[in-house]
Amino acid sequence: MNPQFETQIAPMFCLTGKVALVTGGAVGMGKSVGLAYAAAGATVVLADSDERVAALVDLPAGVSARSYDITSEEAIATLVADVVSECGGVDILVNGAVVNHNKPILETSAAEWDSVQSVNLRAAFITTRQVVPSMQARGGGRIINITTIGSVNPVLIGNGAYSASRAGLNQFTRNCALDFAGDAITANAILPGAIITETIPSSLKPRGPGADPTRHLGGFGKPEYVNGIALLLASPAGRYITGQLIAVDGGFLIS
């Protein structure tokens, strides 16, 4: 390895001494980003449902997992309080938790609509509200929300509730960037494209522009494709980037 890389570049992307809380952290992009943060030196807490946390095995040093009920305000408050007390605080929050029923709009019940907004938007708000005081106390922080390119342009038919929730999270991200800039807290959203994760049900029969493989100029993606931008946004190198919605989509939005 180039010695200059080790001494001068690596520290720019390094997370030594930082604590990262990743929701939706036991699967897909959340897990991938959490492990990348740990490799960059952070202490990482992966938060997810009971079932998903139970399925996690062989976590590397510095990474722990915690289960909670993401629909409960009290459970989120307890999660954050426990992480702050055990790890000393939180410097990086990744709101990666997501649900998607993928149902036609005319067949989506109000209860299903509410459940999607609850996980994808309301929980991100509550978690952010709980975490930011710790970031303020520690002199700064990074909020990274994982949304979707479907929040900007439709991708699949049947994603009405999901895309609306993610568009809400985009704008919440931009407002966090404004509200917390004075605290040296940045807030950005990553908009993944057709990144294939284990959480996509095999029953899903994708229909719509995104179902055409040729629209994804770089082909379908893997969860680790978001690690680079997630690390840039969390690291010293990314401290001037805030309020941005950054597509990691193999060119779908321009196809």
* DSSP-derived 3-state class of residue 104: coil
Dihedral (CA of 122, 99, 116, 209) sign: positive
Among the listed ranges 83-91, 100-108, 128-136, 222-230, the one in contact with other proteins (CB under 8 A) is 222-230
Piece of 114-122, 131-139, 203-211, 247-255 that binds other proteins (CB under 8 A)? 247-255
Note whether 88 binds other proteins by CB under 8 A. no
Nearer to other proteins, 39 or 77 (CB): 39
User: Which CB atom, from 55 or from 196, has the smaller least distance to other proteins?
Assistant: 196
Catalytic site residue 162?
yes
Smallest separation (angstroms) from other proteins to the CB of 234: 12
Is 8 one of the binding residues for other proteins (CB under 8 A)? Answer: yes
- Write down the residue that tokens 């980003």 correspond to: 33
Burial class (CB in 10 A: 0-12, 13-18, 19+), 64: middle
When the beta carbons of 64 and 78 are compared against other proteins, the nearer one is: 64
147 binds other proteins (CB under 8 A): no
* Annotated catalytic residue within 37, 68, 162, 225: 162
Give the start-end residues of each E strand in the chain.
19-23, 43-48, 63-67, 92-95, 141-146, 185-192, 245-248
CA dist., res. 156 & res. 243, Å (int): 26
Catalytic (active-site) positions: 162
